[in-house]
Amino acid sequence: MKRSILTLVIIPVLLLIGCAPTDTDDVVVDADSIAAASQDELIAFRADVDENLAEIDTKLDSLELYADTVAEDVSAEIDSTVAELREKRDSVQMDLQQLEVASEDTYDNVRMDIESELNELESEVDMAWERFRDEDAVPDAS
């Protein structure tokens, strides 16, 4: 019985060792493939973020236009809110640039930070949009 168990354990281990790749060029190609996939992922992520930022810009531009049509006190409040939101938008843009130079160890954390900041910014822009929006006066940002 002990020999059977020992044989069942040793033979698969020996087979696995014998099946391991011995050509280091294969490993380099795999690393290159991973790097290319990561670069493609970065390009796609950046495109998505850029698209979301463009939509945010459109809504903020519409709010600024609306500010010109309302009472001075409301206009000042809109201008202040839009300025704060543009600062947050610029922060997301700067973090996106940091992602491009992030190390392998920090890439995921930087990306998660960007996603979190972007989600928060989108939510705040939507709240500002709803707060100040007069359906007849504000151009549709969609």
Q: Tell me the C-alpha distance between 125 and 1, whole Å.
A: 71
Joined tokens for residue 12: 């698969």
| Domain residue spans of the chain | 47-142
Q: Which two tokens stand for residue 54?
A: 């463009």
Mean pLDDT of 32-37: 48
Rounded average pLDDT over 17-45: 57
What percent of the chain has pLDDT above 90?
47
pLDDT band at 18 (very low <50, low <70, confident <90, very high): low
Q: How confident is the model at residue 99 (pLDDT cuts 50, 70, 90)?
A: confident
| Across 23-27, 54-58, 98-102, least confident range | 23-27
How far from chain centre, in Å, is Cα 111?
A: 5
Percent of the chain with pLDDT over 70: 68
Tell me the CA distances in angstroms from 25 to 36, 59, 66, 97, 104, one per residue in order. Answer: 16, 51, 61, 33, 22
Residues 6+ apart with CB under 8 A from 110: 95, 98, 99, 102
**Consecutive H or E run containing 67:** helix 24-67
User: What is the predicted pLDDT for the residue at 11?
Assistant: 52
